[in-house]
């Protein structure tokens, strides 16, 4: 029997006073810490300098592991809490920031200037579809959203959110004008290739129209929903797909729910939300500081440059440990790049700061140099060797690629960096 119409419980959530609900459906206790008190202890890395040489040069502590006879089996290197042992460079290194894209429900919140967040919950295909099931998942949704919003609650743009509503998709108006996302509660036969040892079964569709959605197994725990909401906020998976729950290099097991689902965010998740917030509200007072290291930048594409008259494009990317440059031909009439070439391991000649950057790399055939000068509003890219070129770009916000290149010059994908450059 389908659940009767459930009245929308517009539970007012005054973020500065709210007592957080437990994820556990059987222990709906409240945490005596308010959102504001939790978020106050979270440091925004953009307000501090990150190029302390100790970050990458800390000496690890060796831990000796012996067998029963006292024979040394191995020597394990123990690094500080925010670092991992990098075998390739034989030293401790800071964990990498989470990767994210611009497809985020934060974008919806900003564009619509939302003060109430509404989510659609569809239990019509579950095996139970009862009032209790609805109430359980309503609680899960609110808990998951609050867990992700906690790290950025100190920002006034988020503090203005006063209400979270979960409505029955079968009974209420659930469309893109009223709701942010839809959550579908499904039986196990809706999923394929399911691991036999877990109930962490779900899939997120952050790009789905008319609104982002999550499809989740009806017996999955709340921590699974927290992981999936991480995708709706814009974060990638950070586990190795062939080895479920084993983190990719540079990401700690206990530091991100995007590797292994947990009921509380890890350090990298909280830092990731601060970074992601600054992509959508770069003008916020907590996002106005400069760029001191690669850890202040998004992990991925940060800058694109086009020369339509010459049919040339450049893409400048960050992989935290190094930068790389993609060069290629862009037809004058618009369209896709016809050829491309990557120059990897671009190394900054000096620490990143607001005075401008210089990068260089060389291989057997080419020497590549990049100069990004904020003050002079210019970017110079040159190569000598097999590929000889030298191009000058302006740092511009007028780039458009709607079918054809209307303007040349460079456009920042990293909106925080763009703000820093514009306001230098």
* Res 68: pLDDT: 54
Distance CA 371, CA 421 (A): 14
* Res 59: pLDDT: 53
Show the tokens assigned to 320.
Answer: 């935290």
* Res 175: pLDDT: 81
> 186 Cβ partners below 8 Å, 6+ apart?
125, 126, 215, 216, 217, 218
Residue 370: closest CA among 329, 308, 322: 322
* Res 81: pLDDT: 67
* Res 260: pLDDT: 85
Distance CA 276, CA 155 (A): 12
In terms of DSSP bridges, do strands 116-122 and 181-186 run parallel, antiparallel, or are they unpaired?
A: parallel
The CATH code of the domain at 99-280 is 3.40.390
This prediction's pTM: 0.76
Please report, in tens digits, the pLDDT of each residue of the chain (424 residues total): 333 333 333 333 344 334 344 565 443 333 323 333 333 322 333 333 333 333 434 455 544 444 555 554 445 567 776 677 777 667 787 788 888 876 899 999 999 999 999 999 999 999 987 899 999 999 999 999 999 999 999 899 898 898 999 999 988 778 878 899 999 999 998 888 776 667 889 999 998 888 999 999 999 999 999 999 999 999 999 888 777 668 887 787 778 999 888 889 998 999 999 999 999 999 998 888 878 777 888 888 888 888 777 778 888 998 877 788 888 887 666 566 677 888 888 888 877 776 778 888 877 778 888 988 877 888 888 888 777 888 888 876 555 545 444 556 888 888 888 888 777 7
Distance CA 260, CA 421 (A): 36
* Res 95: pLDDT: 81
* Res 393: pLDDT: 84
* Res 71: pLDDT: 52
Ranges of each domain in the chain: 55-94, 99-280, 294-422
Task: Return the ∠ at Cα 293 (arms to 287 and 298), rounded to 5°.
Answer: 60
Helix, strand or coil, per DSSP, at residue 372 = strand
* Res 76: pLDDT: 56
DSSP states of 293-358 as a string? SGGGS-SEEEEEEEETTTTEEEEEEE-SS-EEEEEEE--TT--S-S-EEEEEEEEESS---TT-EE
* Res 245: pLDDT: 66
* Res 124: pLDDT: 93
* Res 105: pLDDT: 94
Helix then strand then coil, % of the chain, to nearest 5:
20, 30, 50
């Amino acid at each position: 029997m389908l659940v009767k119409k459930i009245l929308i419980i517009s539970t007012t959530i005054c973020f500065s006073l709210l007592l957080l609900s437990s994820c556990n459906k059987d222990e709906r206790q409240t945490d005596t810490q308010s959102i504001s008190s939790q978020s106050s202890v979270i440091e925004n890395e953009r307000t501090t300098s990150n190029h302390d040489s100790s970050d990458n040069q800390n000496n690890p502590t060796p831990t000796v592991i012996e067998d029963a006879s006292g024979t040394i089996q191995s020597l394990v290197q123990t690094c500080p809490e925010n670092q991992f042992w990098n075998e390739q460079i034989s030293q401790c290194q800071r964990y990498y920031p989470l990767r994210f894209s611009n497809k985020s429900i934060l974008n919806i919140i900003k564009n619509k200037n939302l003060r109430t967040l509404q989510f659609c919950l569809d239990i019509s295909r579950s095996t139970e579809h009862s009032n209790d099931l609805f109430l359980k998942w309503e609680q899960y949704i609110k808990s998951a959203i609050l867990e992700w919003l906690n790290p950025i609650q100190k920002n006034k743009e988020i503090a203005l959110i006063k209400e979270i509503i979960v409505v029955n998709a079968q009974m209420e108006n659930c469309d893109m004008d009223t709701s942010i996302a839809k959550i579908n509660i499904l039986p196990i036969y809706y999923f394929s290739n399911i691991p036999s040892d877990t109930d962490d079964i779900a899939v997120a569709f952050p790009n789905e129209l008319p609104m982002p959605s999550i499809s989740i197994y009806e017996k999955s725990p709340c921590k699974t929903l927290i992981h999936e909401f991480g995708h709706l906020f814009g974060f990638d998976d950070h586990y190795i797909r062939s080895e479920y729950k084993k983190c990719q290099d540079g990401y700690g097991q206990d530091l991100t729910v995007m590797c292994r689902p947990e009921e509380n965010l890890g350090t990298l998740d909280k830092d990731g939300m601060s970074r992601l917030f600054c992509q959508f509200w770069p003008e916020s007072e907590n996002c106005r500081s400069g760029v001191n290291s690669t850890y202040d930048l998004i992990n991925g594409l940060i800058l694109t440059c086009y020369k339509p008259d010459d049919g040339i494009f450049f893409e400048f990317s960050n992989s935290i440990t190094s930068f790389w440059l993609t060069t290629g031909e862009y037809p004058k009439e618009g369209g896709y790049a016809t050829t491309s070439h990557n120059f990897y391991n671009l190394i900054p000649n000096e620490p990143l700061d607001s005075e401008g950057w210089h990068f260089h790399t060389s291989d057997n055939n080419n020497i590549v140099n990049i100069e990004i000068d904020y003050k002079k509003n210019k970017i110079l890219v040159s190569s000598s060797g097999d590929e000889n070129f030298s191009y000058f770009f302006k740092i511009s916000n007028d780039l458009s690629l709607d079918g054809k290149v209307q303007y040349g010059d460079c456009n920042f994908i990293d909106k925080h960096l763009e703000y820093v450059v514009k306001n230098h």
